Amino acid sequence: MEFTIFLAVIGLYVLISLLIVPMQYRFLIALKAEEEKNRLIGKKQGEMYDAMNAGELSLHGNMQGNPLFFLANVLASVLYRLKHR
| In a domain? residue 50 | yes
3-state SS assignment for residue 64: helix
Domains contained in the chain, number: 1
Q: Which residue in 37, 36, 35 sits closest to 49, CA to CA?
A: 35
Residue 48's pLDDT is what?
A: 82
| In a domain? residue 43 | yes
Question: What is the Cα–Cα distance from 60 to 20, expressed in whole angstroms?
Answer: 15
Count CB-CB contacts under 10 A for residue 12. 10
Domain span at residue 64 reads 23-83
| In a domain? residue 37 | yes
Report yes or no: 64 and 74 within 8 Å, Cβ to Cβ: no
| In a domain? residue 45 | yes
Residue 82's pLDDT is what?
A: 95
| In a domain? residue 71 | yes
Question: What is the Cα–Cα distance from 80 to 85, expressed in whole angstroms?
Answer: 8
| In a domain? residue 59 | yes
Which portions of the chain are predicted below pLDDT 50? none
